Amino acid sequence: MSRNDDIQRMAELIKQLDYHSHKYYVENNPDISDFEFDALLRELQALEERYPEAADPNSPTRRVGSDLTTEFESVEHRYPMQSLSNTYSSEELGEWIERITREIGGEVEFVCELKFDGTAISLCYEGGTLSRAVTRGDGRRGDDVTNNVRTIGSVPMRLRGDDYPALFEIRGEIIMPYASFDRLNREREAAGEPLLANPRNAAAGTLKQQSSQVVAHRGLDCTLYHLAGDELPYATHYDNLMAARRWGFKISDNIRICRTRAEIEAFIAYWDTERKSLPYATDGVVIKVNSYAHQRQLGSTAKAPRWAVAYKFQAEKALTRLLSVDFQVGRTGAITPVANLDPVLLAGTTVKRASLHNAEQIALLDIRLGDMVYVEKGGEIIPKITGVELSERPSNSVPFEYITHCPECGSELIRYEGEAKHYCPNVSSCPPQIIGRIEHFVRRKAMDIEGLGGETIELLWQNGLIHDISDIYHLDPVRLAALPRLGEKSAANILEGVRASLNVPFERVLFALGIRFVGETTAKYLAAHFRTLDAIAAATKEQLSEAEEVGAKIADAIVEYFASEDNRRIVESLREAGLRFESEDKQLTSNALEGKNVVISGKFEGLSRDDMKALVEEHGGRNLAAVSANVDFIVAGDNMGPAKRQKAEKLGIKILNYEEFMTLVAEGEKVVEPKRPKPATEEPKPKQETTPIQGTLF
C-alpha cells in the first residue's frame, strides 16, 4: 500500500468511527459490536503511528486520552457565559411569564427544557470541527479543557451536513450519568479514597483531571442546550437546537414549545416525577423565550438573561424505616451518629445510611428507632434525615437515648460550649482518632504522602510502627518491609513519599497538623499572617483573632492545641525531621508597608477586596480583619460601615482613601531596587531603609 492509499484509508476510518460514535453515544443505538469498533480504532491508531504528520488532532483515537499532564490555559470566552436566575415557586414563575408577555406585548413562545445538573461547557466549532472547549470559569474567562472534552464520546469532533455556520459556539452541560458515578465511587471505596459527593461534583472534578486518559475512563456525557454565534441559521432557539441535532450534537429529546402558563406548569409537573427515572441528575426546568428577536428585546442583567429562568425542583425525599444508629468517631474525637436505613431508592441511587448530625438534632426531630423517617439528598454524599412520619410510629417506641461513652475506647463523652457535637476526650489513645489524624496528615491536600492509604496506616499502627504523625518520619525501613502485605517495593515507595513531603510548604504542614477547625483556607491565612509555626504557637487568643478568617472559636482551638504537651512533643519531633515551619519569603514589590497592620474596608471600584489585600501583602504589610489598637491604618472604600469608622476614630487610627493608599504603595515601589534574580549563594538580605513616604504619612 502506498502512503497515499494509507492516508486515504485513515480518512475513511475517521469517517466510519465518527459515524459509529454517534450511533453509540448520541443515538444509543450502535450498529456494530464494541469489538468491531475497537478493531477499526486500532487500525487507525497503527496508521497514525506510522504517519504522525498526517494525524488529525480531532481523530477518534484522541477519545482514549493521553497520560500527558495537561495544564489548563485560561482563555477568554468569545461570548460571555451567563448564568440563570432561579425561581422555586409557581407564583414567581407566573409573575415572570406575565412580565415577559407584557414587555413583548403579544403572544410569546417559550421553550421548556430540563435543567441538567452537571458542569457548564462551551464548545467552539470552526469549519465544522471542534476547535476549543472551555469551562465556564467566571463567565468571562474559563479553562481550556479541549483535550479532556475530546474523550467524551457524545461530543462530535466533526459536524455532519453542510448548513452549520463557519464559526459558532454551542453550550451545554457535561454530566456524569448515575451509572458512571456509582461505578466510580465503588472504585474509590475499594481504593480507600474519599467518595465523590454527587454527579455534579464528579463531572466538574473529572473535567479538570490532568490526565485525559483518566477522563476517558470516567464515562462522562455531554448534552447541549444553547447556541451562540453571529451566523446561526434560524431565528429561534428551538430551530437552531434541532439543526444542531442534525449536525451530530446530543440534544435532549425532552424539549417542548409551550405557549401558555398552563402548558409550562404541566411540563414542570410531569418532569418533577418523571425525572426520577432518568439515568442522570436534573435539578429543574429551564424556560426560555424562543424567538431571538424577543430575546434581544428583553436583554440581560449583568448576571443572567431576562429571557430565561430556571425553575428548581424541591430536593427529592424518600420515606423509609430507621433500623439502627451507629456512632462514628472522627479524627478530632467528634462523634457523628449515622442512621442505618431500610434501603430505599433516592435520586437515582440506593440509600442505606443517612446522617443524623448530633444529639440535639435527634431530640429536636424526636427520631426513634423503628420510625419511618424522611431522607433527603442535599449537596453532600450522605443524605440526611429531615423528619419523622408520626402517623406510622410503632406504638411501643421510646425516645432515643444518646450514648454517653465513646463506642471505641469507652471514655466518657464531653460537650464543648456552643458546640452541638459530643466529643471523645481521649485524644492520645482512642484508636480512630489516632488513625484519623494520621490519615488526615498524609492526605493529598496536606503532606501528600503517596503509598500511605487508610489500610496501610492501620497496619503500621497495629504493628506498633506509628503512634502519632511524627513517627512517620522515623520509620525503620527493615521493620516496614517486613510487614505482612507490604514488601520492599511498597516500603521503598512509602519512604520516598515521606522524604518528598519534606518540601511541602508551611501552610499545608499547618493544615496537616489537624488542629480543630483549621481547614485549608484558615491555614493559608494563618501562615500568611504569622509566617512561622513558632509565632502561631506563641500567639495569644487575641493576636490569633487578628488573622483573616480567624474567630474566637478557631483561636481557642489553636491555643488549646499548643497547650497540650503531647502536641508540643509531636511538633518538636516534626521540626527535627525537617518539615517546613516557615512561610517562604515572597518577592515583595516594595516594603512601603513593612511592619504595618492594615484593615481594608468597604468597596473599591475596579478592585476586589481580595485584590486590595493582595496589594497590602505585596508591599510588606499585614491584613487584619478587625479594627483594634494594633491597626496602623484603615483603607476605606465606599460604604465603610459606620460602626467601624466610629471605632477607628475613637482609637485615633488613620483612615486613608483609595488614592492616598495607592500613592503610598506607589511611592514605596520607587525606592525599592528593581527585582534581580536571586544570587546563587544565600546572602542575608540587606534590610531596607524606612521609605520617606512612611515618614510623611505616619
User: Is 10 in a helix, a strand, or coil?
Assistant: helix
What Rg, from alpha-carbon coordinates, does the chain have?
A: 30
CB-nearer residue toward ligand IVH: 144 or 439? 144
**Cβ closer to ligand IVH: 197 or 559?**
197
Shortest distance, CB of residue 83 to ligand IVH, whole angstroms?
Answer: 4
Q: Cα 369 vs. chain centroid, distance in angstroms?
A: 36
Which cell numbers hold the place of 339? 442512621
Question: 15-23 long-range contacts, Cβ below 8 Å, gap at least 24?
Answer: 16/40, 17/41, 17/44, 17/60, 18/60, 18/156, 18/157, 18/158, 18/248, 21/60, 21/63, 21/153, 21/156, 22/156, 22/160, 22/248
The DSSP symbol for 290 reads -
Chain-centroid distance of CA 584 in Å reads: 26
Q: How many angstroms separate the Cα of 75 from the Cα of each of 124, 132, 141, 280, 608? A: 12, 10, 5, 29, 21
Q: Whose Cβ is closer to ligand IVH: residue 120's or residue 341's?
A: 120
Q: How far apart are CA 345 and CA 406, in angstroms?
A: 32
> From the CB of 559, what's the least distance to ligand IVH, in Å?
42
How far apart, in whole angstroms, are the C-alpha atoms of residue 338 and residue 354? 6
Considering 115, 250, 524, 613, which one is annotated as catalytic? 115
CB of 136 to ligand IVH, least distance (A): 6
- Pick the closer one to ligand IVH by CB: 89 or 324: 89
Contact, 528 vs 614, CB < 8 A?
no
Nearer to ligand IVH, 116 or 441 (CB): 116
Contact 636, 655 (CB under 8 A): yes
Dihedral (CA of 259, 260, 263, 269) sign: positive
Nearer to ligand IVH, 310 or 571 (CB): 310
Q: What are phi and psi of 449, to 5 degrees?
A: -95, 110
Q: Is 196 helix (H, G, I), strand (E, B) or coil?
A: coil
Residue 115 catalytic? Answer: yes
d(CA 559, CA 540): 7
Q: How far is the CB of 178 from ligand IVH (least distance, A)?
A: 17
The x, y and z cell numbers of residue 539, run together, are: 500567639
Closest distance to ligand IVH from the beta carbon of 500 (Å): 38
Q: Which is nearer to ligand IVH, 305 or 436 (CB)?
A: 305
C-beta separation of 614 from 598 below 8 A: no
Choice between 204 and 559, CB closer to ligand IVH:
204
Q: Are strands 86-87 and 654-656 parallel, antiparallel or unpaired?
A: unpaired
What is the closest distance, in whole angstroms, from the C-beta atom of residue 218 to ligand IVH in the complex? 19
- Note whether 590 and 691 are within 8 A (CB): yes
Q: Residue 4 and residue 51: Cα distance in Å, rounded? A: 11
Q: How far is the CB of 163 from ligand IVH (least distance, A)?
A: 23
Pairing between β-strand 597-601 and β-strand 633-636 as defined by DSSP bridges: parallel
State the nearest-atom distance from the C-beta of 84 to ligand IVH, in Å.
4
Do 354 and 341 touch, CB atoms closer than 8 A?
yes
Q: Output DSSP code: residue 277.
A: G
Beta carbon of residue 282, minimum distance to ligand IVH (angstroms, whole number): 8
Distance CA 105, CA 117 (A): 33
**Contact call for residues 285 and 105 (beta carbons, < 8 A):** no
Place of cell 512561610: 583
Q: Which amino acid is at 178?
A: Y
User: Residue 596: which of 684, 510, 526, 693 has the closest Cα?
Assistant: 693
Q: Whose Cβ is closer to ligand IVH: residue 79's or residue 698's?
A: 79
Indicate the residue whose CB is closest to ligand IVH: 120
The residues binding ligand IVH (CB under 6 A) are 82-84, 113, 115-116, 120, 173, 225-226, 286, 305, 308, 310
Using the minimum distance from each CB to ligand IVH, give the nearer residue, 22 or 77. 77
**39 alpha carbon, distance to own chain's centre:** 38
Q: In Å, how far from its chain's centre is CA 68? A: 23
Q: How far is the CB of 78 from ligand IVH (least distance, A)?
A: 14
Amino acid at the residue 111: V
Q: Which is nearer to ligand IVH, 299 or 394 (CB)?
A: 299
> What is the distance between the alpha carbons of residues 457 and 451, in angstroms, rounded to a whole number?
10
Instruction: Name every residue whose Cβ is closer than 8 Å to that of residue 425 and which is 6 or more positions away in sequence.
Output: 333, 411, 412, 413, 414
Are 339 and 371 a contacting pair, CB within 8 Å? no
Q: How far is the CB of 285 from ligand IVH (least distance, A)?
A: 8
Shortest CB 145 distance to ligand IVH, Å: 15
**Nearer residue to ligand IVH within complex by CB, 59 or 206:** 206
Burial of 230 (0-12, 13-18, 19+ CB in 10 A): exposed
- Rounded CA gap, 459 and 490, in Å? 13
Residue that the C-alpha cell 504557637 belongs to: 537
Give catalytic residues, as residue numbers: 115
